[in-house]
Amino acid sequence: MPKQSMTGGNFSTCYHCVHTDGTKAFLKVISIWDALQGPNMMRDLQQITTEYNFECDLLDQCKSMKRVVTALAFGSIKVATFPVPMNYIVFELAQSTARAEISQGLMPLDRVFQTLHHVTVGTRQLHDNRIAHQDIKPSNALIFNDGGAKLGDLGRSISGDGKSPFDALNWPGDLSYAPPEVVFGHIDSDFRIRRFATDLYLIGSLLVSLTTKASLTVYIKKYLAPNYYPRNWGGTYGSSYASALPYVELAFTEALEALEIDLHQLYPALPKQVRELIRIVRELGAPDPAIRGHWGVEGLETPTSTRYSLERYLSRFDRLATEAKLTTLRERSK
């Protein structure tokens, strides 16, 4: 059964398929037929071609990244029943997504941290190559048969070389997961802050989503007074986030307090891990992107060049996954 995709300006359809080597795979087909029938034919054709070529080039660049989804093949095919050729990308097939898993019930905390570890590895691999994902969310955390996770859907990514078709967009990803500065229209001139710091926020939000099914953005909005919603806040769009920031930070603090209460109720046997989870969300999800991420040790500020490094989070997620698993096993053996 085909599934519509938002990638490629709504001109793609996805299927399960079998690759030429017999491997079950995931097929994304990009059709230009709808574009040919539309009122903006030339513009839509250019958009489809640009986005498809960018995604293929990006996937080719990422083929050695073990925690980023792999493209098995891409190209063009002529189907007898279809009037125009169709471009396609064949991906390795995941068993599920984190979104599907949390819809089935509470995800064990060790699985949460393991998934975050793998997604963070993929994000770090992208960042090391000056690529920002910009759309990290439960449906893009792909779960495979071995229990491991990979970061999927690079179709909205931004590259530091300026070749992404979405470079001009303040936010190319899903706006319902966007960090507060994006929602307020703030655009930082520093690529690391504008793109890498927002990826860090998305990782923190993913941690919240996998445990509560609600994004961090939803939690913050719940405690932000309506007067300070972006649509109600005075000033020109994009120019007023600094003045709104104190109110967003207050809502963030209240959201973390509520989140901690919720998590202690969901994971009563893992209070230590819950407290550490809250600390990580506080760092990764800070409303001020300039202080997001690591701030060093004992109050000493981390240099800007390394503040958005994900290396230390990898070790924390790995340790927390092990601790949560051992604690759970001990509780079950009592």
Ordered by where they begin, the domains of the chain are: 3-92 (3.30.200.20), 96-329 (1.10.510.10)
The answer to whether 100 and 94 have CB atoms below 8 angstroms apart is: no
The structure's pTM equals 0.90
Adjacent-strand bridge partners of 106: none
- CA 164/CA 156 separation, integer angstroms: 8
How many CA atoms lie less than 13 Å away from 147 in the CB half-sphere?
Answer: 8
281 neighbors 207 (Cβ within 8 angstroms): yes
Q: What is the residue whose two structure tokens read 């970061």? A: 151
| Residue 237 phi, psi (nearest 5) | -55, 125
The predicted pLDDT at position 234 comes to 65
- List of residues 6+ apart from 145 with CB closer than 8 A: 95
Residue 3: predicted pLDDT: 39
Please report the pLDDT score of residue 299 as a whole number.
47
* 13 close to 26: Cβ distance less than 8 angstroms: no
pLDDT tens over the chain, length 334 residues: 333 333 334 457 888 888 778 888 888 988 777 777 778 888 888 888 899 999 999 999 999 999 999 999 999 888 777 677 788 999 999 999 999 999 999 999 999 999 999 999 999 999 999 999 999 999 999 999 988 999 999 999 999 888 899 998 889 999 999 999 999 988 888 999 999 999 999 999 999 999 999 999 999 999 999 988 888 876 555 557 888 999 999 999 999 999 999 999 999 999 999 999 999 999 999 999 988 997 544 444 455 557 899 999 999 999 999 999 999 888 887 7
Please name which of 163, 157, 162 lies closest in space to residue 131, comparing C-alpha atoms. 157
Cα-based angle 169, 142, 255 (whole degrees, multiple of 5):
65
